[in-house]
Structure 1
Amino acid sequence: MKPTVALLVIGFLILAVGGCTSTANRVINSTVSTFWINSRTVPCTGAGPQTCLQVKRGPELDGGEWEYFYATIAGFDYEPGYLYKLSVRETPLIDAEVPADGSSIEYTLIRVLEKNHDPALLLNDIWVLERIAGEAVDLTAATDLRQPTIEFQLAEQRVMGNNGCNSFNGTLQKAEQGNLRFGPLAMTRKACMNSDVPDRVTAALNRVAGYAIESLRLTLVDESGEELLQYRKVD
């Protein structure tokens, strides 16, 4: 074999071995994680305005807050309205492989472990108040009041409504697995007389920690599971 040809062959073999070694190192350095994917996406800003998945990591969907996920998971076809449990391979990329304004980790779906309808989506409606702490709401003597309502808009993570006198709106910090948390509620300041219903509704809303839905009735409960407010689905 001529020296020039021999050198070319040796160079090719070195590059091939180096490439295989690099690929092998990437596989060795990768990890497998369990991802939970929320049933709804959220607006977010990465390199620019975009829509993000919400994820949690770990074997169980317990505690913690949903995190915005700015990257993509190769091989994963997301369908809104479902909670997913995924097995995902995370592979660190070398600098030369990282796309501009992209993630330094490559995420690849290994397997969909679970896919279930999200029961929290049943909240997504308008509800009319029927009871406070187990007592029926009676506004017949309060001509300046209206029937208290609450409305959930899960896609925007918002809650709004009225306490019979004043309107309120705020953020949904958590709505999952029977747990419910509101952010600070902004409320108008109209003065209403002849009933304690508005004040009782407001006080109860500030204590909400969970919910249950049954037979078109929404029950909001406190930390101990005691009923605070019960609403009826409007339509």
Structure 2
Amino acid sequence: MKNYLIKKIAPKLFLTFALILGLSMVSRADVIRLTVKEDLASCTGVAPMTCMQVKYKNSKNWELFYSQINGFKYEAGYRYVLLVNRTKRKNVPADASAYIYTLKKVVKKQKMQTQTSPWDFVVKHKWKLIQMNGVAQSNSPVYFTFDSANKRIAGKSGCNNFFGGFERNGNSLSFKQMGSTMMACSDELNKLEHQFLTAIGNQAFTYDVADQTLNLYQNNKLVLMFGTMQ
């Protein structure tokens, strides 16, 4: 009788144990609401790339989103409101997000007004140096903006501010009358600043905008690459 009961109960106990073990290995998914911006932004992971810009439920500003959302097909020019399942990973691989994101529902998809030309996009944004003479510039302090109405450029070349004028004709862009402040800097910033101002100062380039980056060329060679800043 005893052996009979053991044989009858054992499969049920095994099934219960298996279910408990399986549940313990899978994290519970949280449902979060994300607003996805209509354009991408430059970001740096293992290498320079582009990321979606999102707002969470309590976000005031757009935040860079370094992960992918499984099942979501992003289309530039549209702003999305999404419900997303967010599951925490048990063992997080190197250089990977702590979460897995999976689309639950597209709540809203809205067509947004797009820029009429690449140059309209250029003058709208602040640009951060991400590559110079083929060398990636991670966490670079160098950035600038264009004042299209007055044909002026201004920004930071390291620890100093720089400024000057520019001329644009089609896809040609030239800089002139460049200058900067003269604050004391570290040797590292001095070197970066000298390289950047030499590369851009009173120089002529052709330019294009690709994958949310502003690229400056000389003799068909990429000299400077900039990404958009918040």
* TM-score, normalising length: structure 2: 0.48
* TM-score, normalising length: structure 1: 0.47
Greater relative contact order: 1 or 2 (C-alpha under 8 angstroms, separation 6 or more)?
Answer: 2
